[in-house]
Structure 1
Amino acid sequence: MMTKTVVEKVDSHQHYWLLERNDYGWLTPAVTALYQDFLPKELAPLRQAHKVTQTVVVQAAPTLAETEYLLSLAAIEPSIAGVVGWVDFDADDVIATLDKLAENHYFKGVRPMLQDIEDTAWIANPNYAAIFTKLAELGLTFDALVKPEHLPYLYDIARQTPDLAIVIDHFAKPNVAQGQFEDWAASMMRFSALQNVWVKCSGITTEASTSQTSASDYQRYFNTLVNAFGHGRIMWGSDWPVVNLNSDYTSWVTLCQTLVSDWSASEQEAFWAGTAQAFYRTLDK
């Protein structure tokens, strides 16, 4: 029996950027769908249309300055409930930087841009163990922007730091367009017993072809998330505006509504809002 979709939503993953800041190295005129300013005024109509009451803004540039910029937006934009920022893991003062950022109520955690780092094993550097420990001590989170090849290293970190709350962004980006599934699914299933690891139902249409637009194209990937993480460790995110590369905000909401339509009301509430609120601790203003 189809259950009614929960009205309130928390978007656990979206971005804002201002081109004149010049710290988005990956964002060039060649990426035509994204090469413009995306700010709260652009997202507002979509939030309102889909009853998204809060969002978590995630870094899109490997600079501390961008993190500070996002925190300044959070201070004036009521819909922003949290910021996932960036710190230099190799800086001598990285621990002090985390201490200072943690003083800001809106700062929720960090995300190194692992998918863009040439060394797949970069995150396994033993020198970073102290950073993960510090994040856990401060009650901060770790967003893992990874691809399937990074998952073994992330698994080791999750086991070694059980008090650190980790969330895998964007299904870990399996290559849906080329049908990548079995190896990705096996890697994701390894996390089933690790209660400190969560996952975001976001960003997967960007890994698909433009013809893969129906829920059936993503059903087996979604089922794997449920099998690996249960209903309580999956959170919804839009990945706006990056979602516009192969889809759009409304289409992604609609697709996800189909995917969770047979869940109970409480399971849907967790998916759309409660899980993100729990993972990022309080999202209260």
Structure 2
Amino acid sequence: MSVSAVPKIDAHQHFWRYSPENYRWINDQMTVLKQDLLPKNLIPQLAAHGIQGSVLVQACSRFDETRWLLNLAEENDFVKAVVGWVDIAGSALGSQLALLQQQPLLRGVRHQVQDEASPADWLANSAVGRGVEQVQRQGYVYEMLVNQQHLDALATFAGRHDRHYLVLDHFGKPDLSQGVAHWVKQVKPLAAMPHVSCKLSGLLTEPRPRGFAPNDLLPWFDAALSLFGSQRLMFGSDWPVCLLAGDYGNGKSLCQQATEALSPTERDAIFGGNACKIYALHSDLTGVSHESAS
């Protein structure tokens, strides 16, 4: 049996040095996350599951976290790209982007829109719009993190920003209790836009109806495949947040199960090829180093 030349990429993972003031979204029910979670903690998982590289995503709305993540990426060769945070609606945006131009591993930016007092108002804000236009002009991916109740506002936002790739994180965080047909209706306008891709990540940690087993989530994967196609979907572990629902392998196993009927080419795209394209990853991926600087 031939081995695929397409590298396996985890398109969504995080690191942090935990502090309550910087990671306020980590609540008292998330004790497993209230610790430093660093490359040395993830490397064994990537190696065990045959993952050659990762996309490291911000988890804190601070520019100094972005610079720290970029330093980690330089020190750990399995991190192939960073999605950081910049003050996208603020006066500091230009100077921050100027500093980051010297950082080749920065490939995208994200803001935790779901944590805004009014996500819909934030998405409609003209200063935000100008900031997104600027980061797209400079060739950065913009990642979109909202809860399902703001997918309508997000579709309007995405329609205004088609200069470069947009990526929907975590299926758009669906309300599983309302069923897959409800989610399809919500996300269909986004999926109709060819510059929008979606991460197959985070579903295991969304609140589930009583009695819902992991396999009961497969219809959302099937629907995502129908809506976006295999060329606009990416596997992401959402490590270490995924630890709230088990271990690293649970999410990967679910995604493998959901895609087992696809062709090898389609599976390769979801498990690495699409991330390589969207984040412009280097072709000379050399695998996971078992040494970490942190």
In the alignment, which residue of structure 1 is the partner of 2:117?
118
Q: Distance in 2 between matches of 1:139 and 1:109?
A: 8
Secondary structure at the residue paired with 2:32?
A: coil
Which stretches in structure 1 are left out of the alignment for 5+ residues?
none
Q: Distance in 2 between matches of 1:119 and 1:232?
A: 32
| Cα distance, 1:174–1:93 mapped onto 2, change above 3 Å | same
Cα distance, 1:129 vs. partner? 2.0
Is 2:15–2:37's contact at 8 Å kept on the other side of the alignment?
yes
Which stretches in structure 2 are left out of the alignment for 5+ residues?
286-294
What does 1:7-156 correspond to in 2, within 5 Å?
A: 8-19=7-18, 23-28=22-27, 30-121=29-120, 122-156=122-156
Give the aligned residue type for 1:38: L
Secondary structure at the residue paired with 2:15?
A: coil
In the alignment, which residue of structure 1 is the partner of 2:172?
172
Length, aligned pairs only: 281
Q: Distance in 2 between matches of 1:59 and 1:244?
A: 17
In the alignment, which residue of structure 1 is the partner of 2:256?
257
Cα distance, 1:164 vs. partner? 2.5
Report the more deviating stretch, 181-190 or 32-41: 181-190
Give the aligned residue type for 1:148: Q
Q: Distance in 2 between matches of 1:6 and 1:32?
A: 39
Deviations 1:77-105 (A, max 9, x none): 01111111111233212133123213311
Report the more deviating stretch, 5-14 or 261-270: 5-14
Secondary structure at the residue paired with 2:12?
A: strand
Cα distance, 1:213 vs. partner? 3.6
Q: Distance in 1 between matches of 2:128 and 2:59?
A: 21
Cα distance, 1:7 vs. partner? 8.2
Q: TM-score, normalised by structure 1?
A: 0.91
Is 1:82–1:283's contact at 8 Å kept on the other side of the alignment?
no
Is 1:23–1:66's contact at 8 Å kept on the other side of the alignment?
no
Aligned Cα root-mean-square deviation (Å): 2.2
Give the aligned residue type for 1:270: A
Deviations 1:168-208 (A, max 9, x none): 000011122x2443332112111233111000000011114
Is 1:6–1:268's contact at 8 Å kept on the other side of the alignment?
no
In the alignment, which residue of structure 2 is the partner of 1:236?
235
| Cα distance, 1:170–1:283 mapped onto 2, change above 3 Å | farther
Is 1:102–1:138's contact at 8 Å kept on the other side of the alignment?
no
Secondary structure at the residue paired with 1:33?
A: helix
Cα distance, 1:111 vs. partner? 0.8
Cα distance, 1:12 vs. partner? 0.3
Q: TM-score, normalised by structure 2?
A: 0.89
Secondary structure at the residue paired with 2:81?
A: strand
